[in-house]
Each structure stands twice: as C-alpha cells, then as structure tokens.
Amino acid sequence: MRAPPYRSRTILVLAFVCAACTARPRDAVTSAPPAAASGASAAVSVLHIATSSDYAPFSSVDAQGAHRGLDIEIAQRFAGDQGLPIDWVPIAWANLDAATVHGGFDVAMSGVTLRADRAIIGRYSRSMATTGAVAIVRAADASRFARLESLDQPGVRIAVNSGGHLERVTRERFPRATILPQSRNAAVPLTLRDGRADVAISDTAEAHMWLNADLVKLPPFTVDHKGYLLPIDRGPLATQLDTWLRAREADGWLNAARVRWLGPEASMDAATAAREAVAALVRLRLDIMPSVAAAKHAAGLPIEDRAQEARVLERVRAQVPNDPNRAAAAYAVLIEMAKREQRAAAPEDKPPTLETLRAALGRIDETLCAEIQALPQSSNADWRATLSRTLGASPLVDQLSQVLAK
C-alpha cells in the first residue's frame, strides 16, 4: 500500500452557492471573464488572475496596496511575456471551488495546492514549488507538544486558515482536537500568540515568516505541491502556461524567483522540478482512485477494465510521440497503482460519475504526458527518492522510477 502523508477526499459538490468573491466590484463567480463568456478558451485579451492576497510568501498586498509574492512575480512575468494585461480577481479560499466551476477567473495563482477534489472540477498546471504543512506552538509549550501525536487530543485548540487546503489536512490529521478556522490568514499566528489557540497551522514556505524566539515549529506532516488552478475550459491557456514554466525552469529564472521568496531550501534545478511535477501529477491521479472505485461499484462494474486500460495506453502513446514506449511503460505501472488504490479504497457516498472522473483523469494525463515528453535526464536513484517522498516506498514505485530513468 502507498502511504501518502494524507488522502484527499474527492467528493464533487455539484450544487455550489454562487457567493461573491470579496472586495470586487463585480461578482467574480457569476460574471465570467470575456474568454469564458464568449465560449473562446484558446485566447484571452486580459488575464484574469485569482489571488487571495493573504498567503505570503506566495501572494499578499503591501501597505501601498501593491501585490507581492512568488506567484505574483510569476504571474506578472508570464503576462508580460504574453503581452497581456492582468485583472487581479480577489477571492476567498472558501469560494475558490465555486469560482473554478463557474469560470470566475482564467487562472488562480495564490499558493494553490494540487488536490484531487479540485482536479475533478478544474485543471492544474505543472507544480512549481513543494511545501509541507507544519504545526507551530509556543516555545513554552514545546515539551507538552513535542510530537505531532500530542496535538491530536481533546481540548487542544488548533488555529488554521479557513476554507483552504490547510484546514482540510488539519481536520484529517487531528480529528480529536478542537479546530479554530480563521477567516483571515493573518489572524492564525495572532490567535496562537495571544493564547486563544495552543497550535497554529502553516506550511514550510510561510512558517519562517511567523517564527521568532517565542514560537517553535514541528516537523512537516504532509508533502504538498503548489501549482496553478484553471477552469476546465482553459486547456489552451494551461498548455501555454506549462510550456512557459518549463522554459523558465530551464533558463534558471523561476528557480531564482523561488529562492528569493521561499529561501534556499526551496531551490530546484530543472531536472528536480520536472521530477517533482511528475510526482505531483501521479499522486493527483492516484488520489482520484477511491472515487473511481466508488463510481464503479455504484455502476455495478468491476475494478479491472482491460478495454479501458488499452484505451488509456493508446492515448498516451499518441500524446508522447517522441517516446511512446516509455510513456506506455510508465502508464502500465500507473494502471497497476490505480487498481491497487481502488481495491483498498473505503466506501464513498455519492461519488462523481465515472464519466466525470475519467474526464478529470484525462486532463491530468494531458499534463503528465507533456511532462514525460519533455523530461530531462535523471538517474534511477533520483527518481526513486522523489517518487518515494510523495507516494511512499513500494515495488511499483521502484518500477516507475526505472521506467522514467531510461
């Protein structure tokens, strides 16, 4: 069995409330950008970029009202290279899913974590940074909370930003604690410092901005990949963005920006970034499999479907024309991984339809095949280390490492 740091639930909520994104003259959920309103997704004249503006060092607003952060710098460089003006779309994390479904933006660039439930309702770019969720406690409580297990106790109060990935993994990891969602991310460390919470949840990119002599950080309890989320119909834009991101990794610009905002520990050369992107997409694919198993069960279908497997292999061969045999060999392993996940899946109520899930997997596969097509050379040992960190060690991970290292 794969042992991921957490398992995302992939229940698709079809009845979204059309809530307005905060601080915006027009409703960014119900009023689609021009490209979506006209039905044209291949070209845009203005780049509508969603940002929470509350998640430094990825996205924040300074005292003068200027946008700052790693994702802001990347967005500005990308838009500038495409000759497009930016329309910043303020969005609360709790509204992100609804805005994705309704086309309230072209791309969300705000430290967004790659997650299976979002992949079902949208599409992701390649990942561009790796982080991990961390718990922060007061130094005076360091002996009381020496291990993560000590946080998962009745009466322990844990503050976390409301509505995003960190709230989800916090509730999964610490189900017996009292979770205190904070509507403003800046309130999370304040709640810890003033004694209203015993623990604050952040991630490895953000935590160093909160720490001082009075606060200490526990080891990460997830491995997360950051990327950019787009509505389903923004496929051409997603391809354009991925091609640009790979080029900026190759010329070193993206790594320089990453180090500038996230610190030297976030440094990755182009080959490392490519391995992380593949690992993130493989896990995204596998995290959808519990819902696939539930959908098959609801439809009275078996886990194994040889005809569908053959269709997938035929498709990926066509999508990786420079190395179809390696692509097919990699996907043969991924198919075995997928069936393993499906067989081990817990029952799931009201899963999305199999058609919806296969469409989501097809979007992930488009991005993953493009990564395989453009992979720089890496050793088997490097592949095994990268994949094992994200997926857990297993014979299938070893097989995938060997295929990708060829």
pLDDT band for position 216 (cuts 50, 70, 90): very high
pLDDT band for position 10 (cuts 50, 70, 90): very low
Mean pLDDT of the chain: 90
Q: So what's the pLDDT on residue 14? A: 35
CATH for 280-404 is 1.20.59.10
Q: So what's the pLDDT on residue 392? A: 96
Q: Does 34-128+225-266 match 133-217 in CATH topology?
A: yes
Q: So what's the pLDDT on residue 213? A: 86
Q: So what's the pLDDT on residue 43? A: 66
The answer to whether residue 212 scores a pLDDT higher than 90 is no
The answer to whether residue 18 scores a pLDDT higher than 80 is no
The region of weakest confidence among 40-54, 79-93, 178-192, 280-294 is 40-54
2.60.120.10, 1.10.1740.10, 3.50.7.10, 3.40.190.10: CATH of 34-128+225-266: 3.40.190.10
pLDDT above 70 as % of the chain: 89
Cβ contact 53:59 at 8 Å:
yes
The answer to whether residue 173 scores a pLDDT higher than 90 is yes
Q: So what's the pLDDT on residue 387? A: 98
The answer to whether residue 351 scores a pLDDT higher than 90 is yes
Q: So what's the pLDDT on residue 48? A: 98
The answer to whether residue 90 scores a pLDDT higher than 60 is yes
3.40.50.450, 3.30.420.250, 3.40.190.10, 3.40.47.10: CATH of 133-217: 3.40.190.10
pLDDT band for position 159 (cuts 50, 70, 90): very high
The answer to whether residue 209 scores a pLDDT higher than 90 is no
Q: So what's the pLDDT on residue 208? A: 83
Better pLDDT: 35 or 194: 194
The answer to whether residue 9 scores a pLDDT higher than 60 is no
pLDDT band for position 185 (cuts 50, 70, 90): confident
| pLDDT (mean) for 83-96 | 95
Q: What is the tens place of the pLDDT at every residue in 100-138?
A: 999 999 999 999 999 999 999 999 999 999 999 999 999
Residue 27 CA to residue 99 CA, distance in Å, equals 10
Map out the domains of the chain as residue ranges: 34-128+225-266, 133-217, 280-404
The answer to whether residue 3 scores a pLDDT higher than 90 is no
The answer to whether residue 268 scores a pLDDT higher than 80 is yes
The answer to whether residue 86 scores a pLDDT higher than 70 is yes
The answer to whether residue 84 scores a pLDDT higher than 80 is yes
pLDDT band for position 5 (cuts 50, 70, 90): very low
pLDDT band for position 322 (cuts 50, 70, 90): very high
Residue 211 CA to residue 99 CA, distance in Å, equals 33
